[in-house]
Amino acid sequence: MKVAVVGATGMVGEVMLKVLEERNFPVTELIPVASERSIGKTITYKGQDFKVVGLETAVSMRPDIALFSAGGGTSLEWAPKFAEAGTTVVDNSSAWRMDPTKKLVVPEINASELTKEDKIIANPNCSTIQLVMALNPLHKKYKMKRVVVSTYQSVSGTGVKAVRQLENEIAGVQGEMAYPYPIGRNALPHCDVFEENGYTKEEMKLAREPQKIMNDRTFSVSATAVRIPTSGGHSESVNVEFENDFDLADVRKLLSQTPGVVVQDNTDTNTYPMPIYAHDKDEVFVGRIRRDESQPNTLNMWIVADNLRKGAATNTIQIAEYLIENKLV
């Protein structure tokens, strides 16, 4: 299995390499790919050194699978070139997510829709992945009508420049700003760029992507996305109105039986999900499960996941694993 990692020197690319190694992904030849300025650099994988190559070289090497995490512009230009060369692309950018001809996949939910003809497969937004992991089993049983989600997203979701800004602020050092304001001791209700409707792109991803992943437009999602001064892990406060009533014990049982979901919900022992505990883990953690007492058939919960792992690298690699297991590449 010849595997290209496009964006291998970036934050998500580095985590992809780590996850490939941890999961013992069947790599017979690794092709680390990055932008012009990184060509010739060396990355280490499983104790071996590999030279970083450019995109053109990588296409000519005809990998079986290319795992992309290099930004939307790069994906739009280069994913079709890899696909034309016979490579199956799993893309972590926003480039193809809402393209009606491309599948948007969370393996635990809709990997069964994939076929050999799918040469470009989209990985959802990090905040979307953890949200749908918890919502999907509940929707199947109780039928969602409306979801209101507020996110508390770490600076790692913006990238290395934002992580550096937070570190500089903590250290009292003047440096380059990734955000229009300080992030330390602050909260910015501003993830990605603002659209004409007053929502940010991040908020609209949360509104649109769940419907596509779950292949269901009978429910709606309204989102407010906030950046907070944590270095890793995204958190979400989620309010879900269902058509049918539920029992809280059944909700906890249903979630705890869902592959990839861990319930941490015991207020007596102050047990609830937090980014500090989700760090470097692949599961989605759900807690603070309680009834909304202001209206019927409505649930509140708190969802946390490592945005660089299940929110990005791990989900991408799980898609690739599914393709291999089902002989789709």
For the stretch 128-171, pLDDT in tens is 999 999 999 999 999 999 999 999 999 999 999 999 999 999 99
Tell whether residue 157 is among the known ligand binding residues. yes
Tell whether residue 37 is among the known ligand binding residues. yes
User: pLDDT value at position 227?
Assistant: 98
Check 139, 190, 191, 234 and give the catalytic one. 234
| Residues 272-286, mean pLDDT to the nearest whole number | 98
Check 126, 139, 191, 279 and give the catalytic one. 126
Tell whether residue 294 is among the known ligand binding residues. no
| Residues 297-318, mean pLDDT to the nearest whole number | 98
User: pLDDT value at position 272?
Assistant: 98
Residue 20, classed as helix, strand or coil, is: helix
Task: Return the domain boundaries, the chain.
Answer: 2-124+312-325, 127-307
234 in catalytic set: yes
Tell whether residue 215 is among the known ligand binding residues. no
Contact (CB, 8 A) for 107 and 125 = no
2-124+312-325 in CATH: which number? 3.40.50.720
Tell whether residue 214 is among the known ligand binding residues. no
| Residues 62-86, mean pLDDT to the nearest whole number | 97
Judge if pTM exceeds 0.95.
yes
d(CA 13, CA 5) in angstroms, rounded, equals: 7
127-307 in CATH: which number? 3.30.360.10
